[in-house]
Structure 1
Amino acid sequence: MLPPLDCSEVPPSTFERLAHLSLVVGLHLLLGYAALYLSVKNELIQLPSSISVRLLPMIEEKKLEPAKPLPPPKPLPPARRPPVAQPQPVLAVASTAPASSSFAVPPQPPAPPVQPIAAAPAPVATLVAARFDADYLHNPKPVYPAMSRRNGEEGKVLLKVRVSAQGTALDVALAKSSGFARLDGAAAEAVTRWRFVPARRGEEAVESSVVVPITFALD
């Protein structure tokens, strides 16, 4: 014997449900698109049954009136000229004074050129000569040569000494001889070691020359 058949309905699966739903939606969309297409096509194909045209009556042109001529411009009043001053008559007065005689002015000599005034030179300070006879110098006297004493040699020697600004003898030269070489040499040797008061120009000590006399005499 065959087994009895189960006639109870099997519920559809989820896939089947989605397929049915998609099919229904697709049919609805297709029907909607077909209805829209037909309505638009009918509107485009349908033409108006008749076109009425109405002609407007033409407006009659107004007759243009001829333009009126413009009145001529009014003439301007003549410009007033200013009154011209009448020249006053000049009365000539006869002069009773005698006419002066003509004279000529002799040409004047040219002015002498202006000589520039030279500036007055600055006063030059007085030069005070150097000294060798001050007591505070303590300069030693020349040594009388013994040979000159025995021979009785005497005389006066003049020496030209160049004195520095510090008071020392820079150079000693024979200005006048005594006549004896030994006396001249003794005088020059002594003066070379002397101290001097330097010459001064104003407040400044300067170099200068001085003549020193040396006398050799036997007692």
Structure 2
Amino acid sequence: MSEALVLPPLDLVEPHSSPAERAVNLLAVVLLHAVLAYALLFFSVKNELIALPSSISVRLLPMIEEPPATAKPLPPPPPKAPVRKPPPVQPQPVLAVPAPAAPSSFIVAPQPPVPPVPQPVAPPVPAPVAVVAARFDADYLHNPKPVYPALSRRLNEEGKVLLKVRVSAQGAALDVVVSKSSGFPRLDAAAMDAVGRWRFVPARRGDEPIDSSVVVPIAFALD
């Protein structure tokens, strides 16, 4: 009676193996079974204990794939402490340094000095021209003396009268007034009548004759 060779279940094949690995594993199992069968045959013939079976049937059991184990969800990582970020560094303003100016390649010729601005010159103040007063005592005028009133002689009237005479540029008496009376109207009137007919040397401003006034004293005295 032949013993049936029972192959080990193919569950030994590692699940989740690739087709190439499965083929290699299957080939290894078949060779192992063949070696075992050869060993059994060798010992049965030698010891004549076991009659060689007429045939050896090999039956391959279908491979049962285990369902893939579901991966257990990993515990959530512990919350990380918030990392304090350092405050952003403000960029320091960079002052732009002006580039040194390139030396000029030309030379300015020296300019002539600016002439001073002439200051306005005030016109010279003319020197005051001396005024020569009018005269009445020149000998060439031949002015007659006043007539002594006869009544004033009998009454012994004496005195000195001052007459203010306005003389024209031609030397004539334009106006005669009593500046100081002699105390006797007859004497004053006789003096005014005589001087009103006199000729005068007119006053002069430089070489120009001008109108002016002059005071003429007339004295009445009994001899």
Q: Where on the TM-score scale, by shorter chain, does this alignment land: which range?
A: 0.3 to 0.5
Tell me which structure has the larger Cα radius of gyration.
Answer: 2
Alignment TM-score, normalising by the size of structure 2: 0.45
